[in-house]
Amino acid sequence: MRELSKIGVVLLDLAYMSVNFSALTLLAALSTYLETSGVSKSLIMVSSAAYSAGIFIAFLAGHSRYLETRPRLVIPLAAILAGVPQILIPFSTPTALPILRFLQGLVMMCLPIFSSQVGMLFVSARPFYMGVIISGIFIGGIVGETLGPALAQSIGWREAFVVLGVAMLVMAAVWCLATPSWALPIHGAKPSNSDRDRKMRVLSGFTVLWGFSFFPTIWIVFTLAPMMRLLLETTLHVPSNFAALVSRALEVSYALWTVVLGLVAYLVSRGISDPRGLFKRFASVQLASFAISIAGLALIAAHPSREAVLVGAIVAGIIQGTGPTFWSTPSTAYPPELATRAGYMLGLISNSAAMVGPFTTLALQSLSPAAAWASLLAMNIVGVLLTGIGMRMRLPIEEAR
């Protein structure tokens, strides 16, 4: 019965992610409605950058000890900071859009909580259940892209924003009411010697390196879709419906690879319980994800055609398979009382890529498309190298013994 209850907790986390990201996708899905209401394309781009900045700040804010130890506060707070702006966006002045989107990026405060939660509930199955939860980001994206236009046509685009904004708040309430106390990360945590000791043990060389091992994933995931769109529309001159098909294929591949690679990490680590053994098995799957993704990107770069872009997108999407392995690290490589704090620190380091990756790559694209694609391949290689180095490092949980 408890095992079924654990799975129910994971499904609650998945529902939370899916509902929130269904709503957050509306800005892109209904951008034409926003443009007709007076929001320029350039302002929408600025708002996307503000959203990325909000994600970065989410990990910084969540790293505070006050929030770190209060999951029942963090989860509704994250939903409120995303849901209230969602309701306000269609009724606000265009200049307020970047501010509202920045606040919506703070929804990612929830992810280290879920990571710590899964780490407490499971052992070798951590990456699989993390993959299920993280897939909610992409499931939400697919739902939002489909549901948003349908709602806009049936009840109006402003009302579509409001409906999904309210859904975000309702989902947060359901999560808080339905998640049992024994499934919260704070449960069973051991007190550390001092706040200074906690910070020093998290701010280790391993944390810095492992945080940057996920940096290439964030860089590529935030960049690959607009890069492919530019290639299809400006170089290959394909019809918009094919570009939409490729975009959808990439989203689906992200969702599927996230679950599949999480399952693979679980299968190769069954029967192992020591942190070093688990970490090395999880990291080996992360290494494989980076290596295979190189093939997908190389296919697009070397043979830019409709077919190559479609197949390459599906293969390159395996890079998102690094997500469940990376987010299994806080509860595997760190003492239990440091897992949530470590998650926020790792998220802060890795998500700095969202601040610079898309703009750097698109700037390269304007100068030389070949250089832009080469930069994505280089990012993958960096991921392979950093993951390989990290696998040889001493873990914080080993230092604590």
Measure the CA angle with vertex 182, ends 255 and 325; round to 5°: 30
Whether residue 225 is predicted with pLDDT greater than 90 in this model: the reply is no
196 pLDDT more than 50: no
Please determine, looking at this structure, whether the domain spanning 193-395 carries the CATH number 1.20.120.1200. Answer: no
Range(s) for CATH 1.20.1250.20 in the chain?
Answer: 1-176, 193-395
Say if residues 39 and 94 touch (Cβ distance below 8 Å): yes
Which of 96-105, 202-211, 327-336 shows the lowest per-residue confidence on average (mean pLDDT)? 202-211
**Distance between CA atoms of 249 and 241, rounded to whole angstroms?**
12
Q: What is the per-residue pLDDT across 341-357, written as a single tens digit (0 to 9) for each?
A: 899 999 999 988 877 87
Residue 290 has what pLDDT?
Answer: 96
How do residues 241-277 score in pLDDT, each as one tens digit?
A: 888 888 889 999 999 999 999 999 999 999 898 999 9
Residue 195 vs residue 119, higher pLDDT: 119
Say yes or no: domain 1-176 is CATH 1.20.1250.20.
yes
What is the reported pLDDT for 70?
A: 84
66-76 pLDDT, tens per residue? 777 788 899 99
Q: What is the pLDDT of residues 3-32, one digit of tens each?
A: 568 999 999 999 999 999 999 999 999 999
Over the stretch 293-345, which tens digit does the pLDDT of each residue have? 999 999 988 888 888 889 999 999 999 999 999 999 999 999 988 888 899 99
H or E element at residue 243: helix 240-269
Report, as an integer, the average pLDDT of 181-203: 60
pTM confidence score: 0.91
Confidence at 191, pLDDT banded by 50, 70, 90: very low
